[in-house]
Amino acid sequence: RFQAQLGIYELQETLGGGGTSLVEIGFNPETEQRVAIKMKKPSLDESAQFYFDTESINMQKLNHPNLTKLVNSGRAEYRTTN
């Protein structure tokens, strides 16, 4: 059972994190696709948001077998389940 939801994705487990972000396993129940979701920590400022937006734009341009494919980017509502 998932503990939180981010947009269409059910967040199932934390893979890791660092100083600026967390990476979660997300599951889309409509397509049954599992994805890695990188989220900016909410305590960071606007310059960190600019970094994330720039990273997303640059990742969309890349296509290489040794790189993770960017499926989606944007902002979504984060909800916890009780």
Amino acid at 53: D
The strand pairing partners of 24, in sequence order, are 14, 37
Q: Order of strands across the sheet with 9-17? A: 33-40, 21-28, 9-17, 4-6, 78-80
Q: For the segment 8-50, what is each residue's pLDDT rounded down to a tens digit?
A: 899 999 999 888 788 899 999 999 999 998 888 877 788 888 8
Q: For the segment 50-79, what is each residue's pLDDT rounded down to a tens digit?
A: 888 888 889 889 999 998 888 777 777 767
Q: What is the dihedral of CA 62, 66, 72, 75, to 10 degrees?
A: -90
